[in-house]
Amino acid sequence: MTTAPSTTTDEAPRPPAPAPAKSAGAGLRPLVLRLHFYAGVLVAPFLLVAAVTGLLYAASFQAEKIVYDHELTVPVGERELPVSAQVAAARKAHPEGTVAAVRPSPEPDATTRVMLSGTPGVDPGHTLAVFVDPYTGEVRGALEQYGSTGALPLRTWIDEFHRDLHLGEPGRLYSEFAASWLWVIAGGGLVLWFSRRRALRTVRGTGGRRRTLALHGGVGAWAAAGFIFLSATGLTWSAHAGASIGDLRAALGQETPSVSAAATGEHAGHDSAAATAGDAAHGVGLDKVLAAARAEGLGDPVEIVPPADAGSAYVVQQIQRSWPEKQDSVAVDPATGQVTDVLRFADYPVLAKLTRWGIDLHTGILFGLVNQLALMTLALALILLILWGYRMWWQRGRGSGFGKPIPRGAWQQVPPYVLVPLLALIAVLGYFVPLLGIPLAVFLAVDIVLGEIAHRRGLRTNASGTTAR
């Protein structure tokens, strides 16, 4: 009979070592991955439309110059006619409506634009731009115009398609939804890309889903900053988030200022202002008003806005939105032709300047053709990223159905000291950016309910003894 060797205290088995605690980054990565996956799958169709229409819009500036070359350009002559004579020629050809603004020829080969409001057949929010040869007074044509950048029909159509799909105010929700989520998807992708091992980022020598992932991650990492910028600037003039941003700027005293258009001459509102409001011949007339603005240093391009009523002044403002921007403006008394107020762009509040630069960079104006090419590159990159993303979803589900999802429960791996501030931040962002906060809240609620249903089904299955996993 043999006896088992005795085990001394020193030979007793040691208790298992506790598992090392996960770092905050390691715990956060599955949550970011799940959010990036579902946001990409659900928001990508809206982003794809925004990217395609944005690509078209960036190209529309150069297309506009080609399509409307006859209206926009003229042979260079020897001497320009007075602005008042050019406006008179425009009014002779188009007596309907009233003169809303005049943009004198900004370059030797450019026409003068006379904008008429209240003309039959023109959208009430648009004007009819009459193009006049500044040397001969010949009317080169008339086109419907929209916005402060003077968009003509081609660019206006693309602009409205990009902004609201030609659905009006309800359609703006699509573009705001896309802008609200673009920075989240881009930022999440950037976090995932940097958290992956360098070896997994390699494209060369790889194939299948790994190659698609490497392409998707590499291009996304390079373009992420541009996407975040487009998202932030796009929200500044959106319907809901834009209103929140406007309220914040107002509370901080950072609103965009405007020149005072109140006439202060001793005859303001009397005989010198007897012309109809909106009449370009109001008071001293366009030529003296333009001369007064030039004396204040307002160089081309400028826009002259006639007095809105008998007690208002002319407003002359620079309209160059390309770098360096020219945004100075002056008010000129129609009775005396004297400048009554001056507003320099240099005196704008900081947030007003940043908003102006951001919008102009977003729309491709700030740096001209280079800006437009950069936007087209970003739009093309976004289109490719969306296609690669859906391809990865397809490749992920091979053998088990289309598009296998990321497992639930990722939030449980996030340390509380990271999760609680994160939830607070999401709540604040959701309040100011409702088309981010509301869909996210709905998604979380549905996901929690579905997870609970799946959990209870699993418990019932185990209790019945059919499955034990």
CB atoms within 10 A of CB 133: 20
- Tell me if 104 sits within 8 A of 300, measured CB to CB: yes
* pLDDT number for residue 469: 42
* pLDDT number for residue 7: 47
- Tell me if 342 sits within 8 A of 348, measured CB to CB: no
pLDDT digits (tens, 9 = 90+) for 410-420: 666 667 777 78
Structure tokens at 15: 């208790």
Phi, psi of 342 (to 5 degrees): -130, 135
Q: Which amino acid appears at position 184 of this protein?
A: V
CB atoms within 10 A of CB 368: 13
Indicate the burial class of 268 (C-beta count within 10 angstroms; 0-12, 13-18, 19 or more). buried
- Tell me if 386 sits within 8 A of 215, measured CB to CB: no
- Helix 172-195 × helix 153-164 angle, to 10°: 70
Per domain, the residue ranges of the chain are 29-68+152-256+368-414, 75-151, 271-347
Cα dihedral angle (66, 367, 133, 290), rounded to 10 degrees? 160
Nearest to 344 by CA among 332, 361, 327: 327
Place of tokens 């590499």: 218
Q: H or E stretch including 443?
A: helix 434-464
Establish whether the linkage from the previous residue to 301 is cis, with ω within 30° of 0: yes
* pLDDT number for residue 201: 57
Low-confidence ranges of the chain (pLDDT < 70): 1-27, 197-207, 265-281, 397-414, 451, 455, 459-469
* pLDDT number for residue 419: 73
Question: The pTM is what?
Answer: 0.85
Could you tell me which CATH number the domain at 75-151 has?
3.10.450
Q: Which residues pair with 317 in a beta bridge?
A: 303, 329
User: CB neighbours of 319 closer than 8 A, spacing ≥ 6?
Assistant: 103, 148, 301, 302, 303, 326, 327
- Tell me if 139 sits within 8 A of 130, measured CB to CB: yes
Nearest to 223 by CA among 382, 359, 408: 382
* pLDDT number for residue 209: 81
Q: H or E stretch including 343?
A: strand 339-343
